[in-house]
């Protein structure tokens, strides 16, 4: 969500990069899924993203999550609210709603529901912080940090990240 507070001229450039990238992803036959809230985006861009999401098949060999207007804390709050609304719509009382809140139930209401948690998260721009990204899903993820900014991230950068990841011994929190 921080990037949406950039100056308007920087946002226009960012929107163009995002739109172009999403088009490349869908042209390659991948499923595109918006992760976050597009409410703060220009209407034309929102409509374009919606159209591209509808044109891609959920049965595609790979789903690419595009995080726009995303905040990890906001995602968790959104998931809990949706869960409480669903349980309330079933006519459950406050105690039953409280009992219905579980790790699994919350996970079913996240933006990434139905997808496995990421094994590897690549952080571009040289920043060595999480910035609230996938707070819930990243509990056992491995991180790889690189100096390259996202628009300049290349295949060789991805291969380096994967090579490093393959050399790690995963402990899953142990």
Q: What is the pLDDT of residues 136-173, one digit of tens each?
A: 999 999 999 999 987 788 999 999 999 999 999 988 76
The residue ranking higher by pLDDT, 166 or 15, is 166
Q: What is the pLDDT of residues 40-96, one digit of tens each?
A: 778 888 888 888 778 777 677 788 888 888 899 999 999 999 999 999 999 999 999
User: Is residue 133 over pLDDT 80?
Assistant: yes
Cα separation, 86 vs 103, whole angstroms: 16
Mark out the alpha helices in the chain (DSSP H runs): 8-27, 43-55, 72-89, 94-100, 103-107, 155-167
Q: What is the pLDDT of residues 80-132, one digit of tens each?
A: 999 999 999 999 999 999 999 999 999 999 999 999 999 999 999 988 888 88
User: Is residue 24 over pLDDT 60?
Assistant: yes
């Amino acid at each position: 969500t921080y990037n949406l507070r950039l100056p308007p001229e920087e946002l226009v450039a960012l929107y163009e990069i995002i739109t172009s990238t999403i088009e490349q992803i869908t042209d390659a036959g991948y499923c595109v899924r918006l992760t976050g809230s597009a409410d703060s985006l220009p209407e034309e861009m929102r409509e374009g993203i919606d159209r591209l999401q509808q044109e891609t098949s959920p049965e595609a060999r790979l789903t690419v999550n595009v995080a726009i207007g995303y905040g990890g804390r906001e995602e968790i709050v959104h998931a809990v609210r949706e869960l409480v609304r669903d349980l309330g719509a079933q006519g459950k009382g406050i105690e039953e709603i409280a009992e219905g809140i579980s790790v699994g139930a919350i996970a079913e209401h996240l933006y990434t529901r139905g997808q496995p948690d990421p094994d590897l998260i690549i952080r571009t721009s040289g920043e060595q912080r999480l910035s609230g990204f996938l707070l819930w899903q990243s509990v056992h993820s491995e991180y790889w940090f690189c100096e390259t900014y996202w628009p300049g991230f290349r295949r060789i950068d991805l291969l380096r990240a994967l090579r490093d990841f393959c050399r790690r011994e995963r402990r899953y929190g142990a």
